[in-house]
Amino acid sequence: MSAQQSHTRREFIKKFGMATAGFAASALPGCSMPSRSKTSAKPPNIVFIFTDDHAVQSISAYGSKINKTPNLDRIAQQGATLERCFCCNSICAPSRAAVLTGKHSHMNGLMTNGTKFDGSQPTLPKYLQKAGYQTALIGKWHLRTDPTGFDYWEILPGQGSYYNPDFITAEGKVRYTGYVTDIVTDKAIDWLDKSRDASKPFLLMCQHKAPHRIWAPGPDHLTMYDDVEIPEPDTLFDDYSNRSEILKDNEMMIAKHMMEDYDLKITGSKVPDALGRTFQNGERKRMTPEQREKWDAAYEPKNDKYKAANLTGKDLVRWKYQRYIKDYLRCIASVDDNVGRLLDYLDAKGLSENTIVVYSSDQGFYLGEHGWYDKRWMYEESFRMPFLIKWPGVTQPGKRTRGLAQNIDFAPTFLDAAGVSVPADMQGMSLKPLLNGKKTGHWRKSIYYHYYERGEHHVPAHEGVRTDRYKLIRFYDTDEWELFDLEKDPQELVSVYRDAAYLPIVRTMKAELARLKEQYKVPPVKPVKTWQGGE
Ligand code: SGN
Ligand code: CA
């Protein structure tokens, strides 16, 4: 089934307004919550807002030097900011599977983007359903099998599209007119407004496509930043010296690998795309005539200037960086506006006082650091995840914590909030002790990481451990190691693995890596000597 439906933001506002209605939270009958360990009159609702590839370097609550995110900052101001939250595997589907299961990739079975998620396994929404929650998922899913554990779901197929996106439900596919970030938010608010059972607490996972490649801004932000220069990162012209040789083989450089038409949206480009993809036959083709006209009016004058300038060398890289980062930040601006709309809705309906709101993203991203876009590496920019949380009664306004957290902790945290005991086979732990400011005696001292793909962007498989101060990485296909002293070298530009002064640290970190692998039951790694290509 396919239908064309009109779903513009203006129509939406007209349709739903922001009129307040009393919140009818009621206590759940104990008998319908077999796995709830303690009863509470009002279990909190959970709104989990999850974007795709949003790096902390572009969130003002994390000290961004390149943009402002007033609505994301609202969550930080009213709640807590985890300064050190990391993913277990810096790529989309594996991170999402870790969030759903509370387990590392090798335990939930989803190690690469090419793997199908086994939806028969226990997950966060299933545990919450058992505890009496109503569960809904809207937006990006990317796990290749239909969602399970959700009372309602409506997802983007695969990576989804920015303009006039298709959505899949259990009934079939529908195309909506509009911009994806607006539509995902409209649908989330619509679900809250129309389909929510006010007698139950709920989990709403509102998952955006933005700001994933190809960073196509929405109609409201096409000319934002036109008159400003965005500051460049210090390492835009990194030469990859003083680290593993393998870094030089990467295929994610703004200078060399970003495509003129596909990524940078230059019309009439003669530069061919190896996969035959262009912006023109992709997102631009999806646009309505009105959307295309607005797009062209915004981009053609900029493209004409670029063509006339005939840039080369570093000037060309700088131009590409500006085009890339501005498009990325324009996508973020729309995310920020839409997070504001969702927060306003919760406020207006009286839901905020008993709703946990989280903002996070499946992993970070390179915003020109090391000359890169994309993610995958264990270096800080793509290893870190944003995690802002407003948890009524638990977080103190404006609290910041530097405790080490990971995406496998999200499910245990939400179960803890719901009063459900965390299953023994979940590998993460509830973040509540980090968030409520209560002393716990100890917290974890290290984080385990493992990236398994050998595909697009030519990033080798690797694993590693990060502590408060150090990071040890092993590229096992080539048996290369790196050690970084993050206190002295926060940009990770010089590996001190072979520096005699760090020998004791290398030994300690190797022992810690071995300990974590035992704790998490990681099977032995399988080095591959010949590059396999990938999905
Ligand atoms: C797509 C992107 C890649 C990106 C992967 C994984 N190419 O294949 O640049 O690394 O997704 O991203 S695209 O041109 O098709 O967008 S992930 O977030 O889904 O893991
Ligand atoms: Ca992603």
User: pLDDT per residue over 72-114, tens digit each?
Assistant: 999 999 999 999 999 999 999 999 999 999 999 999 999 999 9
Q: Whose CA is nearest to atom 19 of ligand 1?
A: 92
Cβ atoms 435, 401 nearer than 8 A: yes
The answer as to whether 33 is a domain residue is: no
Q: Whose CA is nearest to atom 1 of ligand 1?
A: 213
Task: Please compute the mean of the pLDDT values over residues 289-309 and round it to a whole number.
Answer: 97
Q: Is any atom of ligand 1 closer than 6 Å to the C-beta of 230?
A: no
Specify the pLDDT at position 491: 98
Q: Is any atom of ligand 1 closer than 6 Å to the C-beta of 186?
A: no
Beta strand spans in 157-291 (E): 166-169, 172-177, 202-207
Separation between Cα atoms, residue 398 and residue 421, nearest integer Å? 28
Separation between Cα atoms, residue 187 and residue 182, nearest integer Å? 9
Which of residues 389, 407, 439 is at a domain's end?
A: 439
Mean pLDDT score of the chain, rounded to an integer? Answer: 91
The answer as to whether 505 is a domain residue is: yes
Q: Buried (b) or exposed (e) across 336-353, using 16+ Cβ within 10 A?
A: bbbbbbbbebbeebebbe
Is the pLDDT at 1 greater than 70? The verdict is: no
The answer as to whether 524 is a domain residue is: no
CA 422 to chain CA mean position, Å = 24
User: Which tokens sit at 386?
Assistant: 């944003």
Write phi, then psi, for 4 (nearest 5 degrees). Answer: -100, 120
Separation between Cα atoms, residue 140 and residue 214, nearest integer Å? 15
The CA 39 to ligand 2 mean position distance, Å, reads 37
Separation between Cα atoms, residue 451 and residue 429, nearest integer Å? 21
Q: Tell me how many helices (H) and strands (E) the chain has.
A: 13, 17
Separation between Cα atoms, residue 309 and residue 318, nearest integer Å? 13
User: pLDDT per residue over 473-508, tens digit each?
Assistant: 999 999 999 999 999 999 999 999 999 999 999 999
125 and 202, same domain (yes or no): yes
193 and 84, same domain (yes or no): yes
The CA 73 to ligand 2 mean position distance, Å, reads 21
User: pLDDT per residue over 224-280, tens digit each?
Assistant: 999 999 999 999 999 999 999 999 999 999 999 999 999 999 987 666 666 778 888
Q: Is any atom of ligand 1 closer than 6 Å to the C-beta of 113?
A: yes
Specify the pLDDT at position 517: 98
265 and 200, same domain (yes or no): no
Specify the pLDDT at position 439: 59
Q: Is any atom of ligand 1 closer than 6 Å to the C-beta of 212?
A: yes
Specify the pLDDT at position 272: 60
Task: Please compute the mean of the pLDDT values over residues 130-157 and round it to a whole number.
Answer: 98
Any residues with CB less than 8 A from the CB of 424 and at least 6 apart, and which? none
Is the pLDDT at 14 greater than 80? The verdict is: no
The answer as to whether 511 is a domain residue is: yes
The answer as to whether 525 is a domain residue is: no
Any residues with CB less than 8 A from the CB of 384 and at least 6 apart, and which? 55, 56, 84, 85, 86, 364
Q: Which domain holds residue 458?
A: 449-519
Separation between Cα atoms, residue 362 and residue 357, nearest integer Å? 16
311 and 362, same domain (yes or no): no
Separation between Cα atoms, residue 437 and residue 176, nearest integer Å? 44
Q: How confident is the model at residue 438 (pLDDT cuts 50, 70, 90)?
A: confident
Cβ atoms 405, 431 nearer than 8 A: yes
Q: Buried (b) or exposed (e) across 459-491, using 16+ Cβ within 10 A?
A: bbbbbbbbbeebbbbbbbbeebbbbbbeeeeeb
Q: What residues have their beta carbon closer than 5 A to ion ligand 2? A: 52-53, 92, 362
Specify the pLDDT at position 41: 64
What percent of the chain is predicted at pLDDT more than 90? 86
Is the pLDDT at 21 greater than 70? The verdict is: no
Q: Is any atom of ligand 1 closer than 6 Å to the C-beta of 474?
A: no
- Tell me the best of 159, 361, 372, 454 to mutate to test the pocket of ligand 1, counting ligand atoms within 8 Å of each CB and taking the most: 159
Which of residues 414, 439, 464 is at a domain's end?
A: 439
Q: Which atom of ligand 1 is nearest to the CA of 277?
A: 14
The total domain count for the chain is 3
**Which of 226, 190, 215, 210 shows the shortest CA–CA distance to 9?**
190
Look up the pTM and report it. 0.92
177 and 252, same domain (yes or no): no
Specify the pLDDT at position 275: 74
Q: Is any atom of ligand 1 closer than 6 Å to the C-beta of 457?
A: yes
The answer as to whether 15 is a domain residue is: no
Task: Please compute the mean of the pLDDT values over residues 389-397 and round it to a whole number.
Answer: 97
Determine the 3-state secondary structure of 98 from DSSP: helix
Q: Whose CA is nearest to atom 12 of ligand 1?
A: 92
398 and 308, same domain (yes or no): no
432 and 457, same domain (yes or no): no
Q: Which one-letter amino acid corresponds to residue 414?
A: F
204 and 296, same domain (yes or no): no
194 and 245, same domain (yes or no): no
Q: Buried (b) or exposed (e) across 41-50, using 16+ Cβ within 10 A?
A: eebbbbbbbb
User: pLDDT per residue over 57-70, tens digit each?
Assistant: 999 999 999 999 99
**pLDDT-wise least confident of 204-218, 301-315, 375-389, 518-532:** 518-532
Determine the 3-state secondary structure of 204 from DSSP: strand
CATH code where residue 87 lies? 3.40.720.10
Is the pLDDT at 10 greater than 50? The verdict is: no
Dihedral angle, C-alpha 425, 422, 439, 512, nearest 10 °: 10
Provide the β-strand partners of residue 166: 175
Specify the pLDDT at position 201: 98
The answer as to whether 354 is a domain residue is: yes
Rg (CA), the chain: 23
The CA 396 to ligand 1 mean position distance, Å, reads 37
Q: How confident is the model at residue 210 (pLDDT cuts 50, 70, 90)?
A: very high
**Burial level of 508, CB count in 10 A (0-12/13-18/19+)?**
middle
515 and 490, same domain (yes or no): yes
The answer as to whether 373 is a domain residue is: yes
Q: Buried (b) or exposed (e) across 225-257, using 16+ Cβ within 10 A?
A: beeeebebbebbebebeebbebbeebebbbbeb
CATH code where residue 500 lies? 3.30.1120.10
Q: Whose CA is nearest to atom 8 of ligand 1?
A: 456
**Which of 376, 258, 233 shows the shortest CA–CA distance to 323?**
258
- Tell me the best of 208, 212, 262 to mutate to test the pocket of ligand 1, counting ligand atoms within 8 Å of each CB and taking the most: 212
Separation between Cα atoms, residue 420 and residue 128, nearest integer Å? 8
Give 316-322's long-range contacts (Cβ < 8 A, gap of 24+). 316/255, 317/236, 317/237, 317/254, 317/255, 317/371, 318/232, 318/236, 320/254, 320/255, 320/258, 320/264, 321/230, 321/232, 321/236, 321/254, 321/368, 322/229, 322/230
Q: Whose CA is nearest to atom 5 of ligand 1?
A: 456
Specify the pLDDT at position 533: 54
Task: Please compute the mean of the pLDDT values over residues 419-440 and round it to a whole number.
Answer: 91
* H-helix or E-strand spanning residue 134: strand 134-139
Separation between Cα atoms, residue 463 and residue 159, nearest integer Å? 26
C-alpha distances out from residue 374 to 94, 200, 451, 456, Å: 15, 40, 14, 10
Q: Which atom of ligand 1 is nearest to the CA of 159?
A: 19
Q: Which atom of ligand 1 is nearest to the CA of 92?
A: 20
What percent of the chain is predicted at pLDDT more than 70? 90
DSSP 47: E
C-alpha distances out from residue 77 to 72, 397, 414, Å: 9, 6, 21
Q: Is any atom of ligand 1 closer than 6 Å to the C-beta of 144?
A: no
**Which of 231, 163, 152, 161 shows the shortest CA–CA distance to 192?**
152
Provide the β-strand partners of residue 86: 384, 406
- Tell me the best of 51, 213, 275, 277 to mutate to test the pocket of ligand 1, counting ligand atoms within 8 Å of each CB and taking the most: 213
